[in-house]
Chain A
Amino acid sequence: MNEELRGTIKTGLIAGVVTLSLGMIGILVAFNKRFIVTDAVTLADLLLFGMAVIAGYLGASSLKEHSMGRRLLHGGLAGMLAAVPTFLLILLTLVWEGIRDSFINVEPALVSLLTLDNENVVVGGILLIVVFGVLGLVGVGYAQLPVRFRRPISMSLAWTIGSGVMSDILIGILRPRMSNDTLRSLFGSTGLQPVPFVVLFVLLTAVFFWWQQGGQTRYQTLRQNFTPRQQKSSRRVSISLLVIFLLILPSLLGVYLSEIFNEIGRFVLMGLGLNIAIGLAGLLDLGYVTNFAVGAYIMALLTSSSQFGPENPWSFWLAVPICVVAAMFTGFILALPVLKMRGDYLAIATLGFGEIIRVLARSDALKPVIGGAQGILQIPAAQIGGFMAQVMGYILNPINNLLSRFELGILATNSNGDIVFGNPPQLYYLFILASLLMLFISRRLNNSRTGRRWMAIREDEDVAAAMGINTTNAKVLAFTLSAASGGLAGAIFAAKLGSIFPSSFELLISINVLALIIVGGLGSIPGVIVGAFALVGIPQLLSEFAEFRLLLYGIALIGMMLVRPEGLWPSEVHRREIHSHGEDETAVPVSVKP
């Protein structure tokens, strides 16, 4: 057996084991309920048959110089092998009656999925192997395509599939603005209808192809030829468009999607805070949830009308600054003992703090003060009343009248003339305000002397000290400021839910925040937003994902570190680095010697 054949067999079998795992842990069955193309292709089909295509693609591309025939042979073989482990599983279900008692997800639905709904499962299983072999050949065909076709095709496929997956969201947005018939011709109960699917795919492919073949350069030259005045006004126009878009967004999205945006906003806030500690100052803090918890509990203790609140509950707006300051104070206090630790030890110590806080929060010992496991209830929503609301009403109500003609709207006063941040579209404004504020602060800090000191400490703490930086103070400041944003997120969170429980402050929050800033790109402010959309937004959108969310998290973290450790939207420095690597020889001018 030669080397290449062995490689192909290995590829095929690895793909097979992955396919088998997808089935046995229940992903396939769960995803089979969501159509991408209505009544034709489900997300599970895509995963299952996608594995065959990938196996074929990898099987063929590992061969360097061979005839088309050899490539097809290897690709087909890899594809078929990718179905073998699942075939064995099917055989196993025949001899082992009670398999479901052990492997709970090996259910009849899975077997029928893996046997292409055949009555005779053995025939079905063999059929699956054949289909996988054919799809392996498709993979080879894809590998044969020149890159200039491959790129647009895969981009447009990703977008088309994406719109299929997200169809119910698109439906939610389009329903008020479209007739039912048009809507029904585009979408089924879930997924895109076949014709629109194909049309969208072809259209997008054409667009991406055009963009790649010259559109992009033409657009860029157009931008470059702007006069400074034009540039300024184009900037102004795009910023005002963005602001308007952000203001009317919740009415466009509806309640459900607004809620998802709020979740994203909560994590953007925490991400921006943690980014100061980890991304800028290099302090690996695994106990970030502490700051969030402090913000939430202080808000609850100050504003709740239950027994845990004060006699005269505070207003939300007065309590927010206290929450932020309290979180900063906690960050400051917890920073002091860990200042001398580095790297892993710091991570573990902060993780320890987070766990201590969590256990204390749910213990009976502190129950009289913060409610133990039963938490604190009756936290009022944030609201603006009185004169302030009246003034805002004068401005907001006419705008709303205008917008309502287009089925849109913005924040409005209620029948009492107050502005309440109660439901998700209203809370959205609170989150967006807080996020923009923190974005502004992060940017300012990032580009200041303080940010530079932090980066120096991240790079080499001893040398930073030798440059005259008081590293102790700079690190304490990083922890303190980093906590502020977590406290703010906690405060809004408490007012949003109306009640808080210790179970909202698990280690998982810290890990989520860490994961999102890493996936977005350490030290990068836009990266925080991208990371929050990817890791908080997408899983929320797909309810089927809920059970597998953390599994996918794990894969995302590992995959990210292996393939793209700099993140989805790397910070400026990383970007420059990648850039300068490409043009090392030409870009560096010969230095003038002294």
Chain B
Amino acid sequence: MSDNILEAHQVVKRFGGLLATDHLDYELPRGMIASIIGPNGAGKTTFFNCLTGFYQIDEGTLDFNGSSLIGLESYEITQLGISRTFQNIRLFNNMTVLENIMVGQEPHLKSSWIGALLGLPSVRREEEATEARARELLDFVGLRGLGDQLAKNLPYGDQRRLEIARALGAKPKLLLLDEPTAGMNPRETAQTTTFIKRLRDELGITILMIEHDMKVVMGISEKVTVLDYGRKIAEGLPQEIQSNPVVIEAYLGKGATAALMAQEKQA
């Protein structure tokens, strides 16, 4: 087994004539916190969707932990150990907070409907254990005491946290976070940043996130990848990316680098 938890090679995803990801290569070492950035429509979320089986890729290979993800349904990928959150929070709105996290633990549950009908003790034990672990996770993400609320009644920041708790329920090896701090105020963003670091340090989960907030990206990432028009245009340590003229151009348009340089000279 190689030291990379995730290896993507020459991944192509087409929508009609459009290449949403264009021969993308990506490697993610185990235990790293990595970020993917890029302008809107650069293919970041598409890449996530390919990884989690929402889309089937048209060309290339995807390997997780040494086994291929191609052709797997999204539930099978989750069972292998990849969990995710969504850019526009997608909780089970009319279920309680606790139930949401319990659903998150699906990959590790074994009881069948027949067992539930018969009221087998093993089923009852499993349900109790599931609920206990859900409460633990609730505490871990700081939502203690909110278990009986409906998910949709939580405030925005708590909903983001709940989404992460639900993803953690599956005990993932790799966690994909799609804009985890979107819509948060600076204080909440700072809290979330530390929290993400804790996930890696305490639980040993490899983390790949899409993020727009450069403070977050630069603060905790150990590797940053920049996508534009489905292609990888730069990759490296946060500091290297910050000063890369190609990246600045992708974000601000042609000529931006020159303008910035001129500004710097003036200053």
Contact = CB atoms under 8 A, between A and B. Distances in A.
Contacts of B150: 573, 576-577, 580
Interface string A574-594: 101100110010001101111
B99 A455 contact: yes
Interface residues of B, number: 54
Contacts of B54: 462, 466
B10 interface: no
| Interface of A (DSSP majority class) | helix
A150 interface: no
Interface string B40-54: 000000000000111
B117 interface: yes
Interface string B98-135: 01001110110101110011010001001100100000
Interface in B59-96: 73-75, 78-79, 83-84, 86, 90, 92-96
B116 A460 contact: no
A464 B170 CA distance: 12
Contacts of B149: 580, 588
B231 interface: no
Interface stretch (A159-167, A441-449, A499-507): A441-449
B92 A459 contact: yes
Interface stretch (B139-147, B215-223, B258-266): B139-147
Interface stretch (B19-27, B191-199, B204-212, B243-251): B191-199
B76 to A, nearest CB: 8
Contacts of B102: 449, 452
A316 B158 CA distance: 56
A460 B99 CA distance: 14
A272 interface: no
A455 B94 CA distance: 9
B73 A588 contact: no
A-side interface size class: 35 or more
A576 B150 CA distance: 8
A450 B109 CA distance: 11
A593 to B, nearest CB: 5
B242 interface: no
A572 to B, nearest CB: 9
Given A448-B123, A459-B95, A592 B142 contact: yes
B123 A456 contact: no
Contacts of A448: 111, 113, 116, 123, 127
Most chain B CB within 10 A, of A452, A462, A584, is at A452
Nearest to A462: B54
B166 A577 contact: no
A574 B179 CA distance: 31
A356 to B, nearest CB: 29
B81 to A, nearest CB: 10
Interface stretch (A236-244, A327-335, A380-388, A467-475): A467-475
A565 B92 CA distance: 20
Contacts of A453: 103, 106
A577 B90 contact: no
A591 B139 CA distance: 10
Closest 3 CB pairs between A and B?
Answer: A448-B116, A468-B78, A468-B107
13 contacts: A441-B117, A444-B119, A449-B116, A449-B126, A456-B92, A456-B95, A459-B95, A465-B53, A465-B78, A466-B75, A470-B73, A573-B150, A580-B150
Interface of B: 52-54, 73-75, 78-79, 83-84, 86, 90, 92-96, 99, 102-104, 106-107, 109, 111-113, 116-117, 119, 123, 126-127, 130, 140-146, 148-150, 153, 158, 161, 166, 169-170, 191, 194-195, 198
Given A449-B102, A593-B142, 12 more contacts: A448-B116, A449-B106, A452-B99, A455-B94, A456-B103, A459-B93, A465-B78, A466-B75, A574-B94, A576-B148, A588-B153, A594-B194
Interface of A: 441, 444-445, 448-450, 452-453, 455-456, 459-460, 462-471, 477, 481, 573-574, 576-577, 580-581, 584, 588-589, 591-594
